[in-house]
Structure 1
């Protein structure tokens, strides 16, 4: 089972996923700065080490620099967290989740119909 990560750890993972699944420390920092999410070097390194301990990342040395590689895909993390959320909040009842999404206008009726048509065709939602 895929563990949950903190919000900042998730931002680090999103940065690495967006970079094709690998990133150097400098690339991670650059992307965080673009999002106005600066943190100290020690904080970022500590969180990257925590992600390594949680088996989300592995690191390889390239000269004196570390290259971080995702061991968990974004899709796998999203699926695991969605399943956890569904179990925790809706006791596994997807119909209740969908009902809430429609009632609160978080998904329109036409978007819902598009999803139904897409899945009937054997496709995978994008």
Structure 2
């Protein structure tokens, strides 16, 4: 897959279940995980799975009467893509702007900042 594209929320919900389970995964497994919670019908899940295959996030194989699915894009790769895109679009590619927004919005605690400082110090020492 050359370039990732943002997933609609429903497809992202499917991918979270895929990533949380050992491949391969079946539509039955997705239905069990999300069907009741989201009140999705089996056809809705099948449609979402087909879209994920078309977008290059999943690969599918026929096994007997059932289709099985394997992730092509891993969770870390997608979350990195989403995070970089978010920081670029909403914060002008400024990490400082992101942290300021989180801290001023009371979404970060002092302990979070201490942890961030420790992480940055470790990264700086490794260069």
Q: When the two structures are superposed, what TM-score results if normalisation uses the length of structure 1? A: 0.88
| Alignment of structure 1 residues 26-65 onto 2, 5 Å | 26-33=28-35, 36-65=37-66
Provide the C-alpha distance between the structure 2 equivalents of 1:49 and 1:33, rounded to a whole number of angstroms. 17
Partner of 1:83: 84
Structure 2 counterpart of 1:18 = 20
The residue correspondences of 1:68-107 to structure 2 (distance < 5 A) are 68-107=69-108
| CA positional deviation for 1:61 | 1.6
| Partner SS for 1:48 | helix
Aligned-residue Cα RMSD (Å) equals: 1.4
When normalised by structure 2's length, the TM-score is 0.88
Runs of 4 or more above 2 Å deviation: 118-122
Note the C-alpha offset of 1:96. Answer: 0.3
Q: State the SS of the aligned residue for 1:121.
A: helix
How much has 1:119 moved relative to structure 2? 3.9
Q: Is the 8 A contact 2:35 2:42 kept in 1?
A: no
- Unpaired runs of 5+ residues, structure 1, are none
Higher helix share: 2
Q: How many residues align?
A: 121
